Amino acid sequence: MEEEKKAKNPFIYDLVSIVSTAVVIVTFVFLFFFRTVGVSGTSMFPTLNNGDRIILSAFVTEPHYGDIVVTCQPADNVNMEETLVKRVIATEGQTVDIDFDKGIVYVDGKALDEPYVNELTYTREDFRGPKTVPEGHVFVMGDNRNASTDSRDLRVGYIREDYLLGKALFRVMPFGNWRIG
């Protein structure tokens, strides 16, 4: 009897040690390298849905066209208690123009191939183009173009790169639907 108690104690100690070490490592990784963010609203439909959770790289070294990014940039009259999840359309020095009659977005005079959008871009918001993206900024738009508050709206405008929280890597919820694009 006495020997059975001694044999169980090292197992319990090892189990507690392994679990606590794993918790510390996961906490460290998510604190410094990755973040999770919930998607709120329909502005990124059909790519992301309301309630989805995504994993972000905590580092955005250089945003590129097509990256899905999360920003916390303060803006006038826009509820920024929540983060904005948007797609990078243009980076510093690039010129954006939108033909609202045809619904086509142009960057540096070339029409973008945007298979990810819900529908073509017919909603103008405050956009009067063409506009050149200033240094250290990006121009972002939601994939659900006609239901998105994004860089076309003066309240949001260009996003400063230092306000980008991260680049979306993959979706963790709903389970089984990991890919985002």
Nearest alpha carbon to residue 72 among 82, 64, 63, 60: 82
Residues listed for the chain? 181
Cα gap 69→114, rounded to integer Å: 17
- CB hemisphere CA count around 58 (13 angstroms): 9
Annotated catalytic residues are: 43, 86
Beta strands in the chain (DSSP E): 34-38, 53-57, 68-71, 84-91, 95-99, 104-107, 110-111, 131-132, 137-141, 159-160, 164-173
